[in-house]
Structure 1
């Protein structure tokens, strides 16, 4: 079905693997189209309750394949609006948890892709490079939005201005990633983490994602009102009823994502 990515569903997990290992999984026009399509399919599928983005081979994603943009004048703004912006918005609009499983280097737009995900899990061999400045460009694909919100404005400016490499250990220390796992067991550890998320009440998680991201731009009063709105929706789900029943029956809940 796809040529530049792999897509598989296992135990409620949609695993999307960027699959250009010889090019460190760098973005091409085709990869953008396939990745957006896969995200949409996973978002709609009743069989999917969590998404994992990862890379084949040694890299997560090395950013834009510069071979695609070497010749002729480049409409940089149009390039972003057509390719990268829709991809980042698709991740944000997917009301299921999206995990970036960073197996190796995440550079440029590859780092932005990881930042746009809800949760970042890193291999001990992973690294992050805000590489835009190294070719005289500005962080894009949401890099200027997500990075200061995740690590704070001072550290974000330092990483963007210097293009310094961040190791997995340092990424965890500054809050850039949620967890670091051994390289030897990385894939298994990621799947174990994703399966736990997939067994949780998916509708509630989608509402949490929506409310928290909206809360970044709202006043306290507006956030309180939006919490009331989303709680009304969550309170009418089957998963809420199951959670309450399990509490009183002193058993583990079995959520169905409904």
Structure 2
């Protein structure tokens, strides 16, 4: 399910099965569209769809921001619990078989999203549970509906966060708080998620997409090539040593100073100053 706009005619679109993709004003919006199963990531084509869009974004120069949201009342319920109960699909087989299905299945999402060059905003419209919570945490920013709920609920089912949740959550809110949420398996409301720093803001359901798009438009208005380089530096800055990081900054800055978008931005700033 892909909805094209005229500006996308020169950018081949990925063929999606269980999601919808739109592009408007340099903002790509990916909507998980399996509300019949609460946008479960397993037992659907959503893993393939998310990976395909992640790879497409990096090829498409028309995109400056990727927004991910869910159709219906749920952002994503994560894994399909019925499949777990019946040991079918992604959850069938012995230890080696299940491990390989994780590698070839849901673990492709964090690997693909980690490589996305543009900012990612999760518009959390409803419950984000288990791997659905982890998917939201793979984004650079999260804005939530007041109806959203969040839960790292794997232990409640006798399993671990197999998609990398233990990696993402503690980097977002610190080890101790992430430990408590993961080990208790409790589900929290949107306001508590904001208090912990999981989400940037909480708004009423009818205002969610307008709020997210306003934030996305602010980012999309920035020079696009410098935006991609800045995101890369932000992702690397938390784990890099200072000296090699500064060397990379110097090279990236050299690239920026030689891009036409830099002079356009500088001239626009000078014109604005002259009008004051």
Q: Same fold (TM over 0.5)?
A: yes
2:184 paired residue among 156, 162, 170: 162
Aligned counterparts of 1:61 and 1:251: Cα–Cα separation in 2 = 47
Q: Which of 58, 66, 73 matches 2:93? A: 73
Structure 1 match to 2:170: 148
Q: Is the 8 A contact 2:47 2:108 kept in 1?
A: no
Cα separation, 1, equivalents of 2:74 and 2:185: 18
Which of 200, 206, 231 is the matching residue for 1:178? 200
Which residue matches 1:219? 241
2:35 to 18, 21, 27: 21
**Alpha-carbon distance, 1:251 to partner:** 6.3
2:121 to 95, 99, 103: 99
Relative distance call for 1:218 and 1:130 in structure 2 (3 A) is same
Structure 1 residue 200: Cα displacement: 1.2
Q: Which residue of 2 aligns with 1:37?
A: 52
Q: Which has the larger radius of gyration?
A: 2
Q: CA RMSD in A?
A: 1.8
Alignment of 1:49-68 (within 5 A): 49-68=64-83
1:27 offset after TM fit, Å? 1.0
1:189 alignment counterpart: 211
Contact conserved, 2:58 with 2:117, CA < 8 A, in 1?
Answer: yes
> Is 1:83 aligned with 2:105?
yes
Q: CA deviation at 1:212?
A: 2.0
| 1:111 aligned counterpart, secondary structure | helix
Q: Does the CA contact (< 8 Å) of 1:116 and 1:142 recur in 2?
A: no
Unaligned ranges ≥5, structure 2: 1-14
- Please give the secondary structure, in 1, of the residue aligned with 2:197: coil
Which deviates further from its counterpart, 166-175 or 150-159? 166-175
Alpha-carbon spacing, 1:203–1:140, altered in 2? closer, same or farther (3 Å): farther
| Contact 1:112–1:140 under 8 Å retained in 2 | no
Cα distance in 2 for partners of 1:232, 1:81 equals 38
CA contact (8 A) 2:127 2:149 kept: yes
Q: CA deviation at 1:234?
A: 2.1
| Residue 130 of structure 1: how far off its partner (Å) | 0.2
Using the alignment, how far apart are the partners of 1:199 and 1:140 within structure 2? 37
After the TM superposition, list the runs of 4 or more consecutive aligned residues in structure 1 that deviate by more than 6 angstroms.
Answer: none
Native 8 Å contact 2:33 2:39 kept in 1: yes
> Among residues 215, 218, 229, which one is paired with 1:207 in the alignment?
229
CA distance in structure 2 between the aligned counterparts of 1:230 and 1:64, rounded to whole angstroms: 39
Shift in CA distance, 206/129, structure 1 to aligned 2, threshold 3 Å:
same
Give 1:119's match in structure 2, choosing from 106, 124, 141. Answer: 141
> Secondary structure of 1:84's partner?
coil
Normalising by the residue count of structure 2, what TM-score does the alignment of the two structures yield? 0.85
Gaps of 5+ in 1: 253-258
Provide the residue aligned with 1:255 in structure 2. none
Question: Normalised by the size of structure 1, how large is the TM-score?
Answer: 0.91
Q: Determine the structure 2 residue equivalent to 1:131.
A: 153
